[in-house]
Structure 1
Amino acid sequence: MRGQRVMWPFRRSNRRMAVPTLTVDPTERDPTARALREAAERRDWAAIRDLLTPVIDPDDHAFYVTAVAHSDGVQDWIGEWIEAEPRSTLPVLVRGARAIYWAWEARTSGRASQVSQDQFKEFWRRLRLAENCLDEVVDRDPDDTTARTFLVMSARGRQVDTDEANRRFGEVVTRHPWHRIAHEQMLQYRCRKWYGSHEEMFAFAREAVAKSPAGSALGHLVVVAHLEQWLDLPVGEDDEYLDDDAIRAELNAAADHSVRHPDYRRRPGWASVHNTFAMGFSKVGDLRSAAGQFEVIGDQVTSWPWQYINNDPAIPFVAWRDDATAAED
C-alpha cells in the first residue's frame, strides 16, 4: 500500500474520502471459484479434483488453481490427497501453488528491512517446497502451463537470474502465448522494485500488448506499468507524471485493443482487469473512460490494484466511481 495517502483526480484533490459500502469477493463472484474455496474450507479434495479436472483453458485453469491456493490451511491436508492419488499431478500442483502464497504469508508484505531473519528463513523454506512440487509436476507433465506459471511467480521470491526467469516465462508462452497470469507475473519481475527497470517493464508490457490479438485482456499490462512507475516516484512527482496527454492516449489505445474491442470476451478473473483500467483512467484524470469501466464492473471491486492506495480497496473504488459517475452527468 502507498502509505495511507488518498489520491483523487487532479481537479478533485480536496475531495473527502468516501465511506465504503462494498467488500472484496476473492472469487470475483465466479461460481466455480467460489465452489473451490468452499471445498477447500471443508478439506474436500475430491470436490476440488472434480471441479478442476474438466477445466481445459490454461488461463481459466490458472485462475481456479489460484482460488484454491489462496485458501487458508490447504497445506495442512493436501498430503492426504497426494497419498490417495499418487499418480495424479493435480494435488502436487495445488500443494506447490499453495506453498507460494503460504511463503509470502510468512514473509509478510513489509519491506525487507522490516522482515526478521526467522521470517526470511521460513519464507525460503516454503518457496523451496513450492518449487520442488512444481518442478515435479512439469517433469511428469511438461505441458502443464499452470505449474509453469507458478514457477514464473516464484521466480521473484527465489531471486532467480534474468535468464532463468525468461526461460520459465518462455516455457509458458510457448504453449499458450497470451497467458494472462504468466504475463502479469513476468511484468512484476521486470519492475525496478524487483529485478528489472522502468525501461524493461515498459518494453515488456508494450511488446506484449502490441503482439496480442485484438480483444486480448493483456491490454491492462500497459496500465500496470504506468501505475508501477507512479508508485516509484516521490510525492509530488507521482501525480504530475500521470497528468500527461500521452499517457491518457496510451491507456485509451490499450483499452480499444483490449477490453473495449468487439472481440473481447470476459473470462474468469475478468473483474481485476477492468478494475485496473478503472484505476488507471481515474488516476490520469480521464473520468469518462473510467466511468465506462465502472459501468462494466458494477460492484465487483477487487483488491488489485486498489490496495496500492488503501488497505481497504473499497474506499478508493467507491470514491473514484462516484467521481466518474458525476463526470458522466
Structure 2
Amino acid sequence: MAFWRKRSIVDPDHGDLLARQLRAALTRRDWPTAAGMLSGVRHPDDRDFYLDICSEIDNLQDWIDEWIAAEPGSTLPLLVKGVHGVSWAWEARGGGRASETSHEQFKEFHRRLKTAEDCLDEVVERDPDDTEAWAALVTSARGRRVNREEAERRFGNVVKRHPAHRTAHEQMLQYLCGKWFGSDEEMWEFARAAPLPHLITVAYLETWIEHGREALDNDETRAELRATAQRVDAYPGHRDPGWDTVENVLAFTFCLADDYAAAAERFRRIGDRATDWPWFHLKGGADKQFKLFRTVAFKSAG
C-alpha cells in the first residue's frame, strides 16, 4: 500500500512530544509514568490539553480503578477517570441529534456520565481549586441537563481561578447555544464579552450548523471575522499546545464565509498542523476536508 499517498495530516497529539509519550504510556497501562508526566504540568490550559489526551485512550475505564486504588491519597487518577468518562459517555451517545439517538444510547450515555461526574465531584470536594475538574463539569453540564444556575456555578468556579480558560469558555458557549439551553442571542452575547477573541469564530461555526452557510455569506460577517483574526493574532494570553485548533477554526469559518483570501493566510500559518475539530463537521473526514479547502483557498487567493 502506498502509505505516502494516504498520510493523514491530522495529528491528535498536535506535534507535541509529551502528548505522544503520555498517549503511549496510557495505552500500555503504565499509569506511574503517566502520573509523573501529568504531575509536572502546571498551567491550567496545558493541563486541560494533556487531560484531553487522556480522554481519548481506548479501554481506559477497564483498568483506571487500579491506579485509583494504588494512590488513594491522590485526586489525579479520579480526575483522569472523570475526564475520560465524559468523552466515553459522548461516545456512547453518538453525534446525532436527540431525535436520532436511541433509548439504549441515551441510557448508556447517562450511566457513563454519572460515573464521570461522581469522580469529578469527589475531586472538587477534596480539592476545590482543581480547575480542570470544574472545567470537565462544565462540559458534562449539557449531558446531565443541569439548570442555568448550576452551569454558571461550574463555569464560575473555573474562571475565578483562570479567567481565560479556553475549553471552559468553549463549552459554556455550547451550553448557551439555542440547540442546547440558550439562544442565538445569549450565545453571541457570551462570545463577544469573553476574554478569548476566537469565540467569535466558534459562534459563527454554530450559526452555520443551525442556519446554513448563507448566514455567513455577507460583508458584515467577513469584516468581523477579519477583525477577529487580528485580535487572535494579538492575543496576549497563554497559548496551550492545542492552540492549533484556534487557527483551524479561523480557516474553517473564513471558508464558510467565502473569504478565501483570508482563509489562505490562515492555512499558510497552519501548514500541516490540521486538527480534527472543526473539520469533522464536514462529510468525508477532517483530513480530506482540510486538504480540499486549503487547495480551494490557495487557488482562489492566487
**TM-score category, normalised to shorter length:** over 0.9
Confirm or deny: 8 A CA contact 2:82 2:117 kept in the other structure.
yes
CA 292–263 in structure 1, closer or farther in 2 if over 3 Å, else same = farther
Give, as a single letter, the amino acid of the residue that structure 2 aligns with 1:247: T
For the pair 1:242 / 2:220, whether they are aligned, the reply is no
Q: What's 1:298 paired with?
A: 271
Q: Measured at CA, do residues 74 and 21 of structure 1 come closer, stay the same or move farther in structure 2, by a change above 3 Å? A: closer
The CA distance in 1 between the partners of 2:214 and 2:122, in whole Å, is 48
Q: Return the offset for 1:326.
A: 2.0
- 1:202 correspondence with 2:188: yes
Q: 1:256 aligns with which of 230, 236, 240?
A: 230
1:147 shift after superposition: 0.3
Closer/same/farther in 2, CA of residues 45 and 112 from structure 1, 3 Å limit: same
Which range moves more in the overlay, 135-144 or 23-32?
Answer: 23-32
Q: In the alignment, residue 78 of structure 1 is paired with which amino acid?
A: I
CA distance in 2: counterparts of 1:281 and 1:325, whole angstroms? 13
Ranked by relative contact order (alpha carbons within 8 Å, sequence separation 6 or more), the top structure is 1
Matched with 1:155 is 141
Taking the aligned partners of 1:262 and 1:84, their CA distance within structure 2 comes to 42
Give the deviation of 1:118 after TM superposition: 2.2
Counting only pairs closer than 5 Å after superposition, residues 119-130 of structure 1 correspond to structure 2 as 119-130=105-116
Shift of 1:263: 4.2
Between the aligned residues of both structures, percent identity stands at 51
Match of 2:164 among 178, 181, 186: 178
Which residue of structure 2 aligns with residue 223 of structure 1?
A: 201
Amino acid at match of 1:56: R
Question: SS at 2:197's partner residue?
Answer: helix
- 1:246–1:57 Cα change, 3 Å: same
When structure 1 is superposed on structure 2, of 296-305 and 88-97 the one drifting more is: 296-305
1:64 aligns to 2:50 (yes or no):
yes
196, 201, 210: which one pairs with 1:232? Answer: 210
**Counterparts of 1:41-56 in structure 2 under 5 Å?**
41-56=27-42
Match for residue 275 of structure 1? 248
| 2:64 aligned with 1:90 | no
Aligned-residue Cα RMSD (Å) equals: 1.6
Deviations 1:129-175 (A, max 9, x none): 11110010011111100000000000000000111101100110000
- The answer for the alignment partner of 2:25 in structure 1 is 39
Structure 2 gap segments, 5+ residues each: none
Alignment partner of 1:168 is 2:154: yes
User: Normalized against structure 2, the TM-score is what?
Assistant: 0.94
Q: CA deviation at 1:277?
A: 0.2
**Number of aligned residues:** 298
Aligned equivalent of 1:316? 289
TM-score of the two chains, using structure 1 as the length reference: 0.87
8 A contact 1:40–1:68 mirrored in 2 = yes
Quote the offset at 1:311 in angstroms. 4.2
Conserved? CA contact 1:107–1:122, under 8 Å: yes
Answer with 278-287 or 262-271: which moved more: 262-271
C-alpha deviation, 1:265, in angstroms: 6.3
Matches of 2:146 and 2:238 in 1, distance apart? 35
Show structure 1 runs of 5+ residues with no match. Answer: 1-18, 213-217
The residue type paired with residue 249 of structure 2 is: T
1:282 and 1:290 in contact (8 A); partners too: yes
